[in-house]
């Protein structure tokens, strides 16, 4: 079990309110991702749930039991830190066994759980090494091992992949997703990387300045962002925002169109512009177009085969059914 309910949870440091009163319900077994720009309060929110910070108000219920006043260890939560936070003087075996030793578990049971975790995470050959002798990916797996042996009510991940290189990150992302499918335990995952959020989450919580902007499945957020902030944050490259007459003609203050929903051609289109930079990724090409009269730089995502270069004159049009409309407050119409 691992249902977590936040009710009017608030955090302030001195006079600075980091998280204004906030409600959130996380169902048992869900993979929830907190995402937002740095400083949006997502890590603070996770630390409040973990008990590493005290709430300034409100309540946190874990499986129906009030937990806001419990010390971290009593909340039955396990946490994986960005810096791995392994105990450098202990072997991998002792690192993984540490929470069980603290729980005064029977040594035979500890050993069998450690062996199991090591098997799941491919660490069996490294059990007697110290963390300093492992690669970044292996260290992160040890940190995950230390979390899973406790069989917690929920896992908390605080940007666990940001210290890894790009290739490893993709691999670990899959491993964590698979672990979730296998364990079916609640996971709360904090990241600033919206690709991680989109690919891993059952439910994404978009945070901005301590406020929850929107909660929903990855595709809900992509298809129907509630406001300009969510629209701009989810999706890569970023959504194009166009104001002025074009927006007014559609009855909105701002319209948003994703780069993949624009059509570029040399022959026909509603607007004309000049290619500034074409980023060729192989599978796709991102074209940044200037002088369209719509906005400074319009970004378009096209097929990798399209051959356009700096200075080319192109015509652009929108897929009208894919245009998002926002009012003067930035809310979706």
Partner 1 sequence: MARAVSFNKKLVNTLIVGLIGFLIFFPILWILILAFKTENDAIKAPLEVLFNTGWTLESFTTVQGRSDYFKHFSNSVIISVGSTLLGLLIAVPAAWAMAFVPGKNTRNLLMWMLSTKMLPPVGVLVPIYLIFRDLSLLDTRTGLVIVLTLMNLPIIVWMLYTYFREIPGEILEAARMDGASLKDEVLYVLAPMAIPGMASTVLLNIILAWNEAFWTLNLTSANAAPLTAFIASYSSPEGLFYAKLSAASIMAIAPILIMGWFSQKQLVRGLTFGAVK
Coil vs helix vs strand at 139: helix
By beta-carbon proximity to partner 1, the closer residue of 98 and 271 is 98
Chain contacts with partner 1 (rule: CB under 8 A): 50, 52, 71-73, 77-79, 81-83, 85-89, 98-99, 102-103, 146, 150
Scan for tokens 């075996």, then name that residue. Answer: 93
Quote the CA–CA distance of 76 and 153 in Å, as a whole number: 6
Q: Closest approach of Cβ 118 to partner 1, in Å? A: 17
By beta-carbon proximity to partner 1, the closer residue of 155 and 233 is 155
Sign of the four-CA dihedral 84, 144, 80, 106? negative
By beta-carbon proximity to partner 1, the closer residue of 83 and 309 is 83
Q: Closest approach of Cβ 12 to partner 1, in Å? A: 18
Pairing of strands 186-191, 154-158: parallel
Q: Closest approach of Cβ 53 to partner 1, in Å? A: 10
Coil vs helix vs strand at 180: helix
Q: Closest approach of Cβ 328 to partner 1, in Å? A: 43
Q: Closest approach of Cβ 52 to partner 1, in Å? A: 5
Quote the CA–CA distance of 28 and 180 in Å, as a whole number: 12
By beta-carbon proximity to partner 1, the closer residue of 77 and 92 is 77
Q: Closest approach of Cβ 97 to partner 1, in Å? A: 10
Cis peptide before 237 (omega within 30 of 0): yes
Quote the CA–CA distance of 19 and 55 in Å, as a whole number: 10
Quote the CA–CA distance of 107 and 85 in Å, as a whole number: 24
By beta-carbon proximity to partner 1, the closer residue of 148 and 246 is 148
By beta-carbon proximity to partner 1, the closer residue of 8 and 83 is 83
Quote the CA–CA distance of 52 and 30 in Å, as a whole number: 22
Q: Closest approach of Cβ 89 to partner 1, in Å? A: 5
Quote the CA–CA distance of 35 and 194 in Å, as a whole number: 7
The residue among 296, 237, 239, 287 whose CA lies nearest residue 263 is: 287
By beta-carbon proximity to partner 1, the closer residue of 18 and 316 is 18
Helices of type H across 184-321: 194-200, 218-223, 228-233, 244-249
Q: Exposed/middle/buried for 102, CB within 10 Å: 0-12, 13-18, 19+?
A: exposed
Q: Closest approach of Cβ 194 to partner 1, in Å? A: 24
Contact in structure between 62 and 3 (CB atoms under 8 Å): yes
By beta-carbon proximity to partner 1, the closer residue of 98 and 286 is 98
């Amino acid at each position: 079990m691992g249902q977590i309910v936040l009710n009017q949870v608030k955090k302030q440091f001195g006079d600075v309110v980091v998280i204004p009163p906030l409600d959130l319900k996380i169902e048992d077994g869900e993979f929830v991702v907190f995402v937002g720009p740095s400083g949006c309060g997502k890590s603070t929110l996770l630390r409040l749930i973990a008990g590493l910070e005290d709430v300034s108000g409100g309540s946190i219920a874990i499986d129906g039991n009030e937990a806001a006043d419990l010390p971290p260890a009593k909340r039955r939560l396990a946490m994986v830190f960005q810096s791995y936070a392994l105990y450098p003087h202990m072997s991998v075996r002792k690192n993984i066994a540490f929470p069980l030793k603290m729980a005064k578990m029977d040594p035979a049971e500890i050993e069998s759980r450690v062996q199991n975790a090591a098997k799941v995470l491919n660490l069996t050959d490294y059990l007697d090494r110290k963390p300093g002798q492992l690669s970044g990916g292996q260290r992160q797996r040890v940190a995950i091992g230390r979390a899973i042996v406790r069989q917690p009510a929920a896992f908390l991940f605080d940007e666990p992949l940001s210290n890894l290189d790009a290739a490893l990150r993709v691999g670990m992302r899959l491993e964590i997703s698979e672990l979730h499918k296998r364990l079916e335990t609640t996971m709360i995952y904090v990241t600033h990387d919206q690709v991680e959020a989109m690919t891993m989450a059952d439910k994404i919580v978009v945070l901005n300045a301590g406020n929850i902007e929107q909660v929903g499945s990855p595709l809900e957020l992509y298809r129907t962002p509630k406001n300009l902030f969510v629209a701009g944050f989810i999706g890569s490259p970023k959504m194009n925002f166009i104001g002025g007459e074009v927006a007014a003609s559609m009855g909105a203050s701002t319209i948003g169109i994703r780069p993949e929903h624009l059509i570029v051609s040399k022959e026909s289109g509603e607007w004309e512009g000049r290619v500034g930079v074409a980023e060729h990724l192989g599978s796709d090409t991102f074209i940044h177009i200037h002088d369209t009269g719509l906005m400074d730089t319009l970004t378009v995502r096209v097929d990798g085969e399209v051959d356009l270069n700096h200075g080319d004159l192109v015509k652009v049009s929108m897929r009208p059914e894919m245009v998002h409309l926002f009012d003067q407050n930035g809310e979706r119409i």
